[in-house]
Amino acid sequence: MTGELAVFFVLAIVAIACAVLMISAQRMAHMILSMVFTFLAIAGLYFLLRAEFIGVVQIIVYVGAMAILFVFAVMMTEHKVVSFGPEKHQVHKVLSFVGVGALLAGMLYGISTLDMPANQSPQYIGSAKDIGLELYGYYVIAFEAVAILLLVALVGAIVIARKEAD
């Protein structure tokens, strides 16, 4: 087992474990913190793929957004444990855990037995230069159309907010 494969398995297990913890946590702070660690593990996977730019953007955008979400969640909630229905029986929890474990084992078996060609040169798809060439070279019209669409949406939101204020 190479070091890169070991780091991949560690990051994958952290991402999956934190995603499951995010769903099963009772407190808002624990949910948001586990979501931050999930996004950090996914950014680490991007770094393993040599897509450094995408990894950094993942950290800045999503982890930063989670920090803001954390602040708003703390400010706007009553800090009480919220129940979404009757308490599930212990059998349901055990069956869910076994099902997730079986799915994880099947995925790990499939990944470990995957036959990939080993002598191909890696393609670096996540560098800032490549993304810039794609956006401003081949897709410049689509990029400008999205920019105009976002500008129109911003102006529309301002108009709607002004009408409600009057």
What are the tens digits of pLDDT across the range 2-34? 888 899 999 999 999 999 998 888 887 788 889
Q: Residue 5 in 3-state DSSP? A: helix
How many Å separate Cα 85 from the centre of its chain?
27
A 10 A CB-CB count for 142 gives: 10
**Helix (H) or strand (E) segment spanning residue 109:** helix 90-112
How many residues belong to the chain? 166
CB 104 within 8 A of CB 16: yes
Please state, in angstroms and rounded to a whole number, the distance separating the CA atoms of residues 63 and 40.
Answer: 7
Whether the predicted pLDDT of 166 surpasses 60: no
The token duo for 51 is 């897509």
pTM above 0.75, yes or no: no
Which of helix, strand or coil describes residue 68? helix
Q: Rounded CA gap, 103 and 30, in Å?
A: 25
pLDDT of residue 2: 85
Top pLDDT among 79 and 32 is at 32
Average pLDDT for 137-141: 86
